[in-house]
């Protein structure tokens, strides 16, 4: 696994120093622009302050492990969570309401109902749109890829699980996973409750960005597409369940939960294109 990921890429200086077990450099060693380096440097500074404070209060050198050793004692998962904190603040997109679905106009949308937001340093953030979340309802689990795994456009990259049923989700672009959202791993419903904010899923370094973006929707096309998806869904509700949406009404937040007779597999096939 490591040999495949590291091919043609250089190890991070923190890996070279032996502080972390595995981390690749994505910035040509321009550490000033690296969020991971900032997080690690802040952790090191905190440890140094603690050691100096202990030396002053005790009146003698404190028996505290060297900074490098203390950082190495932290699990790689904890270090990845530190890195994820660098992405905690997300500029919320401009959202338009379409039949009760929140449609972002400043994000790129994939026809499998994932979204892509541009990040600094050539990376992108990926999540699930509000349509998919109101269609499926809150997930019991979201099986996210691990850092270092590859995204391949239009290939299954993650899976939502609800009541034992699985919903595979297609990747919107090619790339390499850098960070996954630990909060969503702990509470999958966050992706349903806040899909364009705290419920983001992954940060990815794209490998084919320009042509991939050309295959995604953006701006007013997002609203037009979700409107078409909404009419398709409303037609399914009317023909399969006998439910119609009156003028001024909006779709509720759990279509499948309210109308399971629509069929999980049918919803996957029609909207996620994975059944």
Residue 272 DSSP symbol: I
- Hey, is 62 helix, strand or coil? coil
**Does residue 268 carry a pLDDT above 60?**
yes
- Hey, is 19 helix, strand or coil? coil
- Average the pLDDT over 121-131 and give the result: 93
- Hey, is 17 helix, strand or coil? coil
What is the distance, to the nearest Å, from the Cα of residue 239 to the centroid of all Cα atoms in its chain? 35
Counting beta carbons within 10 angstroms of the beta carbon of residue 191, is it exposed (0 to 12), middle (13 to 18) or buried (19 or more)?
buried
pLDDT band at 26 (very low <50, low <70, confident <90, very high): confident
What does the block give as tokens for 129? Answer: 């749109």
**pLDDT at position 11, please?**
80
pLDDT band at 1 (very low <50, low <70, confident <90, very high): very low
Please tell me the pTM assigned to this model: 0.71
Report the alpha-carbon distance of residue 222 to residue 104 in Å, rounded: 7
Which CATH fold would you assign to the domain 92-275?
A: OB fold (Dihydrolipoamide Acetyltransferase, E2P) (2.40.50)
**Does residue 38 carry a pLDDT above 90?**
no
- Average the pLDDT over 64-73 and give the result: 50
pLDDT band at 131 (very low <50, low <70, confident <90, very high): very high
**pLDDT tens digits for range 183-210:** 999 999 999 999 999 999 999 999 999 9
Contact 230, 99 (CB under 8 A): yes
Report the alpha-carbon distance of residue 10 to residue 215 in Å, rounded: 30
Mean predicted lDDT score pLDDT of the chain: 81
pLDDT band at 67 (very low <50, low <70, confident <90, very high): very low
Domain ranges of the chain: 2-85, 92-275
**pLDDT tens digits for range 80-119:** 555 555 555 667 888 999 999 999 999 999 999 999 999 8
């Amino acid at each position: 696994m490591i040999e495949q990921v590291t091919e043609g890429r250089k190890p991070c200086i923190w890996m070279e120093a032996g502080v972390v077990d595995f981390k690749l450099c994505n910035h040509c060693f321009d550490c000033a622009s690296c969020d991971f380096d900032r997080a690690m440097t802040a952790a090191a500074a905190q440890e140094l302050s603690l050691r100096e404070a202990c030396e002053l209060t005790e009146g003698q050198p404190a028996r505290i492990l060297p900074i490098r050793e203390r950082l190495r004692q932290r699990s790689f998962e904890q270090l990845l969570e530190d890195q994820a904190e660098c992405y905690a603040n997300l500029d919320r997109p401009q959202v338009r309401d379409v039949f009760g679905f929140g449609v972002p106009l400043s994000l790129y949308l994939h026809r499998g109902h994932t979204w892509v937001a541009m990040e600094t340093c050539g990376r992108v953030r990926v999540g699930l749109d509000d349509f998919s979340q109101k269609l499926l309802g809150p997930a019991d689990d979201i099986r996210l890829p691990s850092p270092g795994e590859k995204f391949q456009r239009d290939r299954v990259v993650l899976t939502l699980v609800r009541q034992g049923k699985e919903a595979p989700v297609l990747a919107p672009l090619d790339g390499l996973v850098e960070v996954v959202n630990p909060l969503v791993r702990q509470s999958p419903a966050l992706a349903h409750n806040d899909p364009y904010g705290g419920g983001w899923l992954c940060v990815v370094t794209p490998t084919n960005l320009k042509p991939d973006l050309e295959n995604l929707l953006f701006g007013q096309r997002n609203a037009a597409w979700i409107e078409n998806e909404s009419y398709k869904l409303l037609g399914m509700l009317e023909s399969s369940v006998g439910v119609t949406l009156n003028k001024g009404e909006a779709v509720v937040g759990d279509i499948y939960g309210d109308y399971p007779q629509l069929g999980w597999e049918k919803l996957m096939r029609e909207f996620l294109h994975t059944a």
